[in-house]
């Protein structure tokens, strides 16, 4: 059980605090409700590029990092399809340094052409390092636009291509900041060695005077129902083994469907006693790696099967083997012990996540982003409510051919 308090400032900033006396630090986590799903399809990768620019100084802060480091803190950030998250862990005594820095860049970020030019290059190198100079690195660049035709989940957070990043202008940067980086579009959560009252009054002190913005948030197009099976073959890749990806549309992060699908993916592939591991890797040895997981996106997401083929397995065999496992899953009953096992795993995963104050701060902000901070304590009950019947109907509803996109990622032929 994680005890926390929540308040809302007049400018719309949501504040959450959890006191944890086991650490001398406080984690200050700021989530902006903007990710690559808010981008235009002609300028993808922008939310992530912008995240880099947030470290370029603000009206009263020439060098953001310098102050974090002077105070003995550490900071970083990440962007997902749904959100952008910034965090500082700092000795509790120096909490005001973190709040000063974060509030100043929320109020008035610096815009500099030089910083933009350099960060464009840095992000393009990041693009290469992760997606291009890395075996199988470009899979999601191909798979997303196969699975999604309309919804912005059809591109990854890094963007569709380096050209989009090159095109970004300082005007884009300013517009983006004024659109999305407002207190009423943000959540601040704190966890660590600090009393709630003190946390709330310090957040009010530093953030209270930042004006709310009018947020003309463009509507995000919903993905139309997929009605036909989709297939894509990418031949001649510089990889040692063929790989296969089969993805199915599923519900969003707060839907009941999400919890059922997450349990299904655990039964299929969480741990070495899971079905896919035992059947396809250990027994038939068709695969050298096999996985089933859910994307966990805010909007309706994907249920993903991915596997690397053993030498000698044909891609057709691999595809069929996954389909057979799905059929078996739908046909056979789930044993009580199998269900109990994944519920234990989920409970222990939640217990382990409560140890660390940084994880708690991140989770509090994330659940608030989903409009239900209580989930930090009630998620387990959503998993417990999953029954074998629900599993069966959900599997039947999800694993339909016309709901599936399949990618064959093939190695170069000798």
Partner 1 sequence: MPNRNTAPSIVPLSAPKLLTPEHFTLDNGTEAIYLHDPNQEVFKIDVIFEAGIYYQPSPLIAATTINMLGEGTLHHNAEEIAGIFDYYGAYIDFCCGLNKSEVSLLSLNKYAEPTVRMLAELLTESTIPEKELKIFLTNKRQEFLVNQEKTSYLARKKFAAVLFGANHPYANQIREQDYTATTLQQIRSFYQKYIHTRKCRLVLCGNINDSLLKLVNNAFSYTLAPAPEEDFHTPIFQPEKAGHYPVYKAPAVQTSIRIGKTGVSLTDPDYAGFMLLNTILGGYFGSRLMSNIRENKGYTYGIQSFNVCMPQSSYWCITTEVNKEYTQATLQEVEKEIRRLQTEPVPSEELQLVKNFLHGDILREIDGVFAQADALKHKLNYGLDNRFYTTMIEQIKACTPAELKQLAQKYWQPEEMYVITAGE
312 conformational bin, left if phi > 0, alpha if psi -120 to 50, beta if neither:
left
* Residue partners of 71: CB distance under 8 A and separation at least 6: 90, 91, 94, 97, 98
Q: Between 219 and 238, whose beta carbon lies closer to partner 1?
A: 238
* Contact (CB, 8 A) for 187 and 7: no
CB 318, min distance to partner 1, A: 14
Interface with partner 1 (CB under 8 A), residue from 82, 102, 104, 319: 104
In sequence order, what are the beta bridge partners of 244? 307, 408
Binding flags for partner 1, 128-157, as an x/- string (CB under 8 A): xx--xxxxx---------------------
Interface with partner 1 (CB under 8 A), residue from 119, 362, 394, 405: 119
Is residue 269 within the footprint of partner 1 (CB under 8 A)? no
Q: Using CB under 8 A, which residues numbered 213 to 242 contact partner 1? A: 238-241
Q: Between 60 and 178, whose beta carbon lies closer to partner 1?
A: 60
356 conformational bin, left if phi > 0, alpha if psi -120 to 50, beta if neither:
beta
| Local structure of residue 124 (DSSP, 8 states) | H
Q: Between 33 and 275, whose beta carbon lies closer to partner 1?
A: 275
Interface with partner 1 (CB under 8 A), residue from 24, 224, 235, 316: 24
CB 160, min distance to partner 1, A: 17
CB 107, min distance to partner 1, A: 8
User: What angle is formed at CA 29 by the lines to CA 23 and CA 35, rounded to 5 degrees?
Assistant: 150
CB 135, min distance to partner 1, A: 4
**Spatial separation of the C-alpha atoms in residues 217 and 299, rounded to whole Å:** 16
Q: Segment near partner 1 (CB under 8 A), from 37-45, 178-186, 320-328, 343-351? A: 343-351
Q: Between 215 and 343, whose beta carbon lies closer to partner 1?
A: 343
**Spatial separation of the C-alpha atoms in residues 178 and 187, rounded to whole Å:** 17
Applying CB under 8 A, what is the total number of residues that bind partner 1?
80
22-51 burial, b for 16+ CB within 10 Å, e for fewer? ebebbbbbbbbbbbbbbbeeebbbbbbbbb
Q: Using CB under 8 A, which residues numbered 355 to 394 contact partner 1? A: 355-356
* Residue partners of 134: CB distance under 8 A and separation at least 6: none
Q: Segment near partner 1 (CB under 8 A), from 174-182, 204-212, 244-252, 254-262? A: 204-212
**Spatial separation of the C-alpha atoms in residues 361 and 347, rounded to whole Å:** 19
Is residue 405 within the footprint of partner 1 (CB under 8 A)? no
Is residue 91 within the footprint of partner 1 (CB under 8 A)? yes
**Spatial separation of the C-alpha atoms in residues 76 and 84, rounded to whole Å:** 11
| Local structure of residue 92 (DSSP, 8 states) | G
CB 70, min distance to partner 1, A: 5
Q: Between 226 and 356, whose beta carbon lies closer to partner 1?
A: 356
Is residue 315 within the footprint of partner 1 (CB under 8 A)? no
Is residue 179 within the footprint of partner 1 (CB under 8 A)? no
Tokens encoding 398? 């999800």
């Amino acid at each position: 059980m994680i005890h926390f308090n929540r308040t809302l400032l007049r400018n719309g900033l949501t504040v959450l605090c959890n006191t944890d006396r086991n650490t001398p630090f406080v984690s200050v986590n700021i989530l902006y409700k903007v990710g690559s799903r808010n981008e235009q399809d002609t300028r993808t990768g922008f939310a992530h590029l912008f995240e880099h620019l947030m470290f370029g100084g603000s009206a009263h802060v020439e060098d953001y990092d310098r102050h974090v480091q002077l105070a003995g803190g550490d900071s970083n950030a990440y962007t997902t399809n749904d959100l952008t998250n910034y965090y500082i862990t700092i000795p509790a005594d120096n909490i005001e340094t973190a709040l000063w820095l974060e509030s100043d860049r929320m109020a008035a970020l610096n815009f500099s052409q030089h910083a933009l030019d350099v960060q464009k290059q840095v992000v393009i190198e990041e693009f290469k390092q992760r997606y291009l100079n890395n075996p199988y690195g470009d899979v999601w660049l191909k798979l997303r636009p196969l699975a999604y035709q309309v919804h912005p989940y059809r591109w990854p957070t890094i963007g569709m291509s380096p050209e989009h990043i090159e095109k970004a202008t300082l005007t884009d940067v300013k517009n983006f900041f004024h659109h999305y980086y407002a207190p009423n579009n943000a959540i601040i959560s704190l966890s660590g060695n600090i009393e709630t009252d003190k946390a709330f009054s310090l957040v009010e002190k530093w953030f209270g005077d930042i004006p709310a913005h009018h947020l003309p948030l463009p509507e995000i197009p919903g993905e139309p129902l997929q009605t036909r099976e989709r297939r894509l073959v990418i031949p001649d890749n510089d990889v040692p083994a063929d790989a296969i990806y089969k993805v199915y549309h599923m519900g969003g992060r707060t839907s009941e469907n999400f919890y059922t699908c997450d349990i299904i993916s655990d039964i299929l592939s969480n741990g070495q006693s899971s079905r896919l591991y035992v059947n396809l890797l250990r027994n038939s040895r068709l695969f050298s790696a096999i996985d089933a997981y859910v994307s966990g996106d805010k909007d309706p997401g994907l249920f993903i099967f991915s596997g690397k083929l053993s030498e000698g397995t044909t891609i057709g065999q691999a595809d069929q083997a996954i389909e057979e496992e799905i059929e078996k899953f739908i046909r056979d009953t789930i044993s009580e012990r199998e269900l109990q096992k994944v519920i234990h795993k989920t409970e222990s995963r939640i217990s382990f996540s409560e140890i660390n104050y940084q994880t708690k701060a991140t989770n509090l902000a994330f659940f608030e982003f989903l409009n239900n901070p209580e989930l930090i304590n009630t998620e387990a009950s959503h998993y417990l409510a999953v029954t074998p019947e629900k599993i069966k109907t959900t599997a039947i509803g999800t694993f339909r051919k016309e709901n599936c996109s399949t990618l064959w990622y093939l190695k170069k032929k000798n």
